[in-house]
């Protein structure tokens, strides 16, 4: 008898939960449609945010205006904002709602040195000569995520859906400076799913090692200390810190031939001394050591340290080092990627205008790239590459090893550009970036709804995370306990350029678009010879 009761009870629970699930799944398409309509309704808001952040042009760790602007909007819309998280003044977390699941959005804020460029102009024409600019397109990410979050807030309220929305800024992504510290500070402890967004010229997502063109890295500065002396009068009394730097670099160039082909390493001399008649007592060099996985990155870093110590010995100087950034190679979640892909396909590519295509083709021609305009099809989801070859890095990698995460690539830029240059800024405050960000916001909102309304998907994503991704590889931070975020970076540069950039801050109260404020006719291309 008792047994029968139990079985009957179980059956009714199953039927009930089946019914609830069926009800939710039929609601889901309607809710997604509502999200699409609401994102479209916010097109002007999205465009203004893209343009506003473009005009701020702030380098990593100095995203002061950008953070003030975005958190102000979020607070006005009922999000709780905690500022200065993880020991980083420009970092913050914005939260709305309550209960499970907790869906977090993240996207970058910072720009690129010397990438200042007038938007909509298909040749190099800086806004402010030598100034930083959005030569990667990070100005569009917050427009994508904040638009999606505002729409979700409305839907959660209107339909009484449980769940929490969080928004994180990718501070100092260009120097891989923040995410390992976010993880160390425990900011993702209660998060179930992370939906990152990054500007690209394709509409795509990926899982695992993706297209294989990602590396992890450590970014380290080596400071050599010597002894000043008159470089002609008494050079034998001096010890040149620049000699230390030069010997380290020469050593690295010889060693490079005997490293794995998958490694990528590069350096810049950040301090080479003051003037030739003074033996440099201080000099510094900054290295990025990139490899495909944690053990290989560690080993490359070790070789760098040995090289620095040996160079100091040869030059009779001393050396110390500071880790300024780190990133695990990315590994994105298959379950979330498959659901996100369906949404990408449903939203489809933006409708590019004749003017958009003219700008894209003129820029491609100008820089000697293949002239093919903008993409007109979304990218299918593909199997991860079996033998990754490595390439760029993103410190969201650290998050992807702590929480199930995907990285939406939304189509707000022009194909075939060099990356990290003025050329990549050309489209970033034009209708190309505006439409691409609106499309991205739709997918972010729809994917969040998938996971808010179907709790079993959250479980599936965690199953993949636990049983596939982290089955054999366990996250270990590159950070030593004494490492701190390099928040002083870019301070001087930004102080130098901010007054000039300020004159060009976008004023949406006066101008419909940034192009209108700057008086740029769209598109501006060189006359055909
Ligand atoms: Zn980026």
**Whether the predicted pLDDT of 2 surpasses 90:** no
- Which pLDDT score, from 0 to 100, does residue 528 have? 74
H runs (alpha helix) in 64-121: 64-76
pLDDT score of 217: 97
Dihedral (Cα; 447, 451, 457, 463), 10-degree rounding: 90
Beta-sheet strand order (sheet of 80-83)? 80-83, 92-98, 163-170, 102-108, 193-200, 405-411
- Amino acid 210: pLDDT: 86
Q: Is the pLDDT of residue 260 over 60?
A: yes
For CA atoms 109, 353, 406, 220, the dihedral sign is negative
Nearest to 325 by CA among 177, 156, 524, 130: 177
Block residue for tokens 């295509």: 357
The pLDDT-based confidence of 1 (bands split at 50, 70, 90) is very low
Could you tell me the two tokens for 230? 């008159």
Work out the percent of the chain whose per-residue pLDDT is above 70: 95
Residue 426: helix, strand or coil by DSSP?
coil
User: How many angstroms separate the Cα of 385 from the Cα of each of 183, 201, 210, 382?
Assistant: 27, 20, 6, 9
pLDDT score recorded for residue 25: 55
| Alpha-carbon span 178 to 183, nearest angstrom | 9
* pLDDT reading at 37 higher than 80: yes
**Beta strand pairing call for 102-108 and 216-225:** unpaired
What's the pLDDT tens digit per position in 203-246? 999 999 888 889 999 999 999 999 999 999 999 999 999 999 99
pLDDT value, residue 398: 97
Is 211 strand, coil or helix? coil
**Cα 429 to middle of ligand 1, angstroms:** 16
CA–centroid distance, residue 108 to ligand 1 (Å): 7
| CA dihedral (47, 52, 58, 62) positive or negative | negative
pLDDT band per the 50, 70, 90 thresholds, residue 340: very high
Contact 363, 423 (CB under 8 A): yes
Residue-wise pLDDT tens digits, 263-311: 999 999 999 999 999 999 999 999 999 999 999 999 999 999 999 999 9
CA of 136 to the centre of ligand 1 (A): 6
Q: pTM value?
A: 0.93
Averaged pLDDT score across all residues of the chain? 95
Residue with token string 């629970």: 13
Res 412: pLDDT: 98
Q: Given a cut of 60, is residue 22 above it in pLDDT? A: no
**Phi, then psi, of 242 in degrees rounded to 5:** -65, -35
Q: How many CA atoms are closer than 13 Å to the CA of 477, on its beta-carbon side?
A: 19
Residue 6 is predicted with a pLDDT of 57
Rg (CA), the chain: 25
Between the CA of 36 and the centroid of ligand 1 the distance, in Å, is 26
For ligand 1, the distance from its centroid to the CA atom of residue 401, given in whole angstroms, is: 19
| Residue 16 pLDDT exceeds 90 | no
* pLDDT (0 to 100) of residue 19: 47
CA of 260 to the centre of ligand 1 (A): 26
Query: Ligand 1 centre and the CA of 10: distance in Å?
Result: 50
How sure is the predictor about 344, in pLDDT bands with cuts at 50, 70 and 90? very high
> Could you report the per-residue pLDDT of 404-430, keeping only the tens digit for each?
999 999 999 999 999 999 999 999 999
CB 154 within 8 A of CB 38: yes
Q: Could you tell me which of 119, 297, 101 has the C-alpha nearest to residue 218?
A: 297
Taking the centre of ligand 1 as the mean of its atom positions, its distance from the CA of residue 173, in whole angstroms, is 6
70, pLDDT greater than 70: yes
Q: Residue holding tokens 């002894």?
A: 227
pLDDT in tens, 155-187: 999 999 999 999 999 999 999 999 999 999 999
For residue 395, the CA-to-ligand 1 centroid distance in Å is: 10
């Amino acid at each position: 008898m008792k047994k029968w009761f139990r079985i009957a009870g179980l059956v009714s629970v199953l039927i009930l939960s089946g019914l609830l699930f069926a009800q939710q799944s039929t609601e889901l398409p309607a809710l997604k449609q509502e999200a699409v309509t609401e994102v479209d309704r916010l097109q002007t808001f999205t465009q203004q945010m893209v343009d506003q952040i473009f005009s701020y042009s702030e380098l990593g760790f100095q995203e002061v205006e950008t953070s003030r602007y975005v958190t102000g909007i979020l607070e006005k819309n009922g999000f709780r904002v905690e500022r200065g998280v993880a020991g980083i003044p420009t970092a913050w977390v914005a939260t709305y709602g309550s209960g499970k699941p907790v869906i977090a959005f993240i996207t970058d804020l910072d720009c690129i040195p010397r990438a200042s460029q007038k938007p909509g102009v298909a040749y190099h024409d800086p806004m402010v000569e030598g100034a930083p600019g959005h030569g990667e397109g990070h100005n569009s990410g917050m427009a994508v995520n904040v638009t999606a979050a505002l729409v979700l807030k409305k839907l959660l309220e209107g339909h009484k859906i449980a769940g929490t929305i969080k928004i994180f800024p990718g501070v100092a992504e260009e120097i891989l400076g923040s995410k390992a510290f976010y993880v160390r500070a425990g900011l993702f402890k209660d998060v179930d799913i992370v939906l990152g967004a990054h500007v690209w010229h394709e509409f795509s997502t990926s899982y695992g090692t993706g297209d294989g063109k990602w590396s992890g890295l450590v970014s380290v500065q080596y400071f050599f200390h010597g002894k000043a002396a008159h470089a002609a009068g008494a050079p034998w009394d001096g010890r040149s810190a620049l000699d230390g730097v030069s010997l380290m670099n020469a050593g690295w160039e010889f060693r490079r031939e005997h490293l794995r082909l998958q490694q990528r390493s590069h350096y810049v001399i950040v301090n080479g001394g003051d003037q030739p008649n003074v033996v440099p007592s201080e000099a510094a060099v900054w290295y990025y050591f990139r490899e495909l996985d944690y053990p290989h990155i560690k080993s490359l870093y070790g070789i760098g340290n040995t090289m620095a110590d040996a160079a100091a010995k040869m030059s009779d100087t001393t050396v110390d080092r500071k880790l300024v950034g780190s990133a695990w190679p990315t590994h994105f979640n298959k379950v979330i990627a498959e659901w996100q892909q369906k949404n990408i396909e449903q939203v489809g590519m933006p409708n590019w205008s004749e003017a958009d295509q003219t700008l894209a083709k003129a820029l491609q021609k100008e820089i000697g790239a293949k002239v093919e305009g903008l993409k007109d099809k979304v990218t299918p989801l593909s199997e991860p590459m079996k033998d990754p070859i490595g390439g760029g890095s993103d410190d969201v990698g650290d998050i992807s090893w702590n929480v199930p995460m995907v990285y939406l690539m939304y189509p707000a830029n022009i194909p075939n550009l060099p990356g990290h240059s003025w050329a990549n800024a050309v489209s970033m405050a034009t209708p190309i970036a505006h439409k691409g960000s609106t499309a991205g916001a739709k997918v972010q909102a729809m994917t969040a709804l998938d996971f808010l309304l179907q709790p079993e998907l959250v479980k599936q994503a965690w199953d993949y995370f636990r049983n596939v991704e982290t089955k054999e590889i366990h996250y270990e931070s590159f950070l030593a306990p004494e490492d701190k975020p390099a928040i002083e970076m870019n301070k001087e540069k930004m102080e130098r350029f901010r007054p000039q950039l300020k004159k060009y801050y976008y004023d949406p109260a006066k101008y419909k678009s940034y192009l209108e404020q700057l008086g740029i006719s769209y598109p501006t291309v060189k006359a055909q010879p």
